[in-house]
Chains A and B, each alone.
Chain A
Amino acid sequence: MNKNRVKGHELGEVTCPTGFNWTNLKAELRAIWESSIKAWKIELAYPVSFLRQSVSPLIILLPFLIYGMVLVGGRYSENLERMVGTGDVVTFIFTGYVIMGFIGTAVWAMGFSIRGEQWFGTLESIFVTPTSRLSLVLGMALHSTVHQSIGTAVEFAIIYAVFGLGLKIGGILPALGIFVLMMLALYGFGILVSALSLVLKEGWIVAEGLHSIMMILSPVVYPLVVLPTVAQQASAIFPTAPALVGMRVFLIENYQPEVIGNIFLHLLALDAAWILFGILVFHLTDIYVRKKGSLEKY
């Protein structure tokens, strides 16, 4: 060994903050933020794809609205009014559609963020840093949530201008409270899907299945009462059903929920359950793929 060599660090010395302390928490939050910014930069590097993603939600929404209006022969449905107190098909569908977008955020965008890193070839590079894996997933979740929120705001402006929406402005704040609780549970769900996509390389099949199940069991374009009793009961395990009912209570005039319960408590319980379950599965999956040596394989 070269005797003139400069002495480096002491053994056991690390330069990155670790452990449970404010400095480390701040660093993790910054990693979440920077992961989100990184995802934006990559997304904007593909302008055509970005444009398609910005326009397609509106294009998907229009057939729902037109189909609904054609079926009921106008904007107001007496049948819908009998079931939920409001007959405004457009407002009913639009509020459901907003949530449908966020289901996609959790299942597809967030669930596949890790898979995306596998495709880029960068998964090992980011997993070998001291940043928590969950922070990496949450960073990508932040990006997709902001993306979806901007899209929703644009949709809202266009639908409001073209069709008009019968919304109670005063209900926006409590509806946002419900929305935040729903998103927390959906994040837990997204963490679960991202874990599954690490193990099952064809994770989109699982994601598609889960997305479809959640769509069927959520009152997006129809009220829950039209579903069989078993399906109505099963819908309680997904945050979207109580959240949609709750948000419509606050947002739509004369809306009478078909399922009355303590929505806030229900959502809080789902938050805890989905987040803990998602993290547990993610942790176990991480160990499994590192044992199996399949982290970088796609």
Chain B
Amino acid sequence: MDYTEDDGTYSIQTFDLTKRFTKKKHRGIFGFLRKERKQRKQQSESSRVTVALDHINIKIRSGELFGLLGPNGAGKTTLVKCLSTILIPDKGTAVVNGFDIRKQTSMVRASLGLVIGGERTLYWKLTARDNLMYFASLYKMPRNQAKERVEELLEKMQLSDRADERLEDYSTGMRQKIAIARSLLHDPSILLLDEPTLGLDPTFSKQIRGQIRELSDKHGKTILLTTHYMDEADQLCDRVAFINDGKVVAVDDPDSLKATVKETELVEITCFNPPLDVERHLKSLCPGVDIITLVHGDETKGNPSKIKIIGGNAEEHISTAIDALRKKNVRISSLNVGVPTLEDVFIKLTGAKLAEGEGRG
């Protein structure tokens, strides 16, 4: 493959991007003394290799808000880390803003702003202003320009009045706003946002989504947003790629993706205390249904679990399913016959679930 192929309209292109990790097997304190049989050693070595990215080929247009949707461990963060030069891929490469991530690392780093998971990516012992001023110097901004930009971003994030407080006194949401402000300091053309709303309350999530939308619409930024929140991707993204087990399984705009399961019916039963084998049990009772899946809710916090029945004749099986669940002492709180969501598309394509639980903003 010609890795230099670039027609000028894509801000990010990946070419067969592949990354594997070898996990160390912990064999106990004196494990090194134990001899492993050759065959078993070979077997365990191959089972220790995780393919985080498997020949990923995606193209993101300039100015596009592109969502990367997948469950935890699907490879989203690995892709972001490869694109931002934190990781070197094993095979293939990517071109970011016209620069090769393997050969032109400085230019790639200068081209993008990164918001990566984890609260500790800023200095908690420094104030918000000091953090931003320091990172402005690392983005090589002249001092006067940096000062103006920092004030502007603090204003934008509605944190001007708390700018001189240490981050240790901030809430998670406020720290995330500062992390976003940091990624915008040098006005990059590309933003990589890795789960930017993870762990935030509904108010902050909404604010941050609004800011992402604004960055795309009013500032023309190319944004790669990774998330496992289907509604976030649906709400924000121009196009979405589904990633599962390191492979991209589909790329399209949310409406087109949803149209692929439109003909099929979706029955969603919201309930508490479903048995673990409920999927298998209902499948045996409902022939002809494509998928039956259980999404566990955090029931201790009052968030119910959801059983989704997807398939051409799903509606016909409602009474059978309800009876079967009642017999298993499942408390049913609601039943919906609805329109498929992005999550349903994902489930249909991969058989896997995006997220367990709904207890978030």
- Residues of A near any B CB (own CB < 8 A): 1-2, 4-9, 11-18, 24, 27-28, 30-31, 33-35, 37-38, 41-42, 45-46, 120-122, 124-131, 136, 287, 290-291, 293, 295-296
A127, B86: Cβ atoms under 8 Å? yes
- Chain A residues with Cβ below 8 Å from B109 are 128-130
Asked if A7 and B106 sit within 8 Å, CB to CB, the answer is no
Contact B220 A6 (CB under 8 A): yes
Is the Cβ of A38 less than 8 Å from the Cβ of B86?
Answer: no
Minimum Cβ distance to chain A for residue B282 (Å): 40
Interface locus among B110-118, B224-232, B261-269, B327-335: B110-118
Residues of B that sit less than 8 Å from A by CB: 8-9, 11, 19, 21, 61-64, 78, 81, 84-88, 90, 97-99, 106-107, 109-111, 114, 116, 118-126, 130, 133-135, 137-143, 166, 182, 186-189, 216-222, 238
Q: How far is the CA of A4 from the CA of B134 in the complex (A)?
A: 35
| CB atoms of A30 and B123 under 8 A apart | no
A290–B120 CB distance below 8 A: no
Q: Are B62 and A45 in contact (CB under 8 A)?
A: no
Other-chain residue from B11, B64, B98, B186 in contact with A15 (beta carbon distance below 8 A): B186
Contact check, A16 vs B139: say whether CB atoms are below 8 A apart.
yes
Q: Report the bound CA distance from A130 to B139 in whole Å.
A: 6
Contacts of A1 in B (CB 8 A): 61, 63-64, 238
- A128 / chain B contacts, CB cutoff of 8 Å: 84-86, 109, 114, 116
Residues in A whose Cβ lies below 8 Å from that of B166: 45
Q: Is the CB of B217 within 8 A of A4?
A: yes
Q: Is the CB of A8 within 8 A of B106?
A: no
5 closest Cβ contacts across the A-B interface?
A: A121-B120, A8-B220, A27-B140, A9-B189, A34-B137
Q: Which residue of chain B has its CB nearest to the CB of A121?
A: B120
Instruction: A296 to B81: give the CA distance in the assembly, Å.
Output: 11
- A120-B123, A121-B120, A121-B121 in contact; A8/B97 too (CB < 8 A)? no
B140 touching A31, Cβ below 8 Å: yes
Q: Is the CB of A129 within 8 A of B135?
A: yes
Chain B residues with CB under 8 A of A38: 123, 126, 130, 134
Least CB distance, A229 to chain B, in whole angstroms: 39
**In the bound complex, CA of A6 to CA of B166 (Å):** 35
Given B114, B121, B137, B189, which contacts A31 in the complex, CB threshold below 8 Å?
Answer: B137
The chain A residue with its CB closest to the CB of B136 is: A34
- CA–CA, A131 and B110, complex, Å: 9
